[in-house]
Amino acid sequence: MSSKWDIEKFTGDNDFGLWKVKMEAMLIQQKCEKALKGEGSLPVTMSRAKKTEMVDKARSAIVLCLGDKFLREVAKEPTTTSMWSKLESLYMTKFLAHRQLLEQQLYSFKMVESKAIMEQLTEFNKILDDLQNIEVQLEDEDKAILLLCALPKSYESSKDTMFYGKEGTVTLEEVQAALRTKELTKSKDLRIHENGEGLSVSRGNDGGRGNRRKSGNKSKSKCFNCHKMGHFMKDCPEINGNSAQIVSEGYEDAGALVVWCCLEDEEGDVSHLGSDAW
């Protein structure tokens, strides 16, 4: 049973180090990776025809996985080994430069207050993944310490807790889990704060409407005594010979002012005529 292993051609735009790793893996699957070291490295018990077949198979695999421009640079090489060596000499330097660039990004990585922690964690993890893809191995504790050192000043207390408040070594997973928990807690507190401010503004607006109603245009008001427009009951001209006692009670939260108008007769008896609200 044969299997087809598709590998992206090396075109110069993709990473040579990654392409090299994938290419070697494909040659292993096709059982011809030893051909990269030349026929001399093949078992002495292998027949001449078998050796030639293996070398040709490895060479054809490399040719099919190179872009036209890069194939021209190595196509004239007489052996599979020389073709592979020339590719490494031409492009491994760029690969090493890429590795050094990634390592520099990792060791100089610093988080800022103006960006979300979750977003910056993704950037940090991407650098780690890129280094792992080119076979750069880092200890887990070193990754955790680098991440803690990259935290902004607002996380100083959390950093000290993780550094000195835990027995044993700190892991990258523990640090990232703690940061995600803290970020979620901050987001929740912010939403509660914003909701509280919104409620305060809403109550304040209601109070403002209440004040406007209290000092509104009397021409649109109706008297509860004579049922005529243009005045309140306390100012009704039909109430003669009596003194009006105004008792008010304000409901600031509802934005309403309720007024009871009472009439006091000559004997001192008080009778309620009604209420007016505005």
Q: Is the pLDDT of residue 177 over 80?
A: yes
pLDDT digits (tens, 9 = 90+) for 84-132: 999 988 887 767 787 899 999 999 999 999 998 999 999 999 999 888 8
Instruction: Determine if the pTM surpasses 0.75.
Output: no
- Residue pair 233/223 in contact (Cβ under 8 Å)? The answer is yes
User: Over the stretch 190-249, which tens digit does the pLDDT of each residue have?
Assistant: 666 556 555 454 445 544 444 444 445 556 677 777 878 877 777 787 765 444 444 344
pLDDT at 190: 63
Strand partners for 261: 246, 274
Domain chopping of the chain, boundaries: 1-108, 109-215, 218-277
DSSP-H helix ranges across 65-133: 68-74, 80-107, 117-133
Kindly report the number of other CB atoms within 10 A of residue 30's CB atom: 17
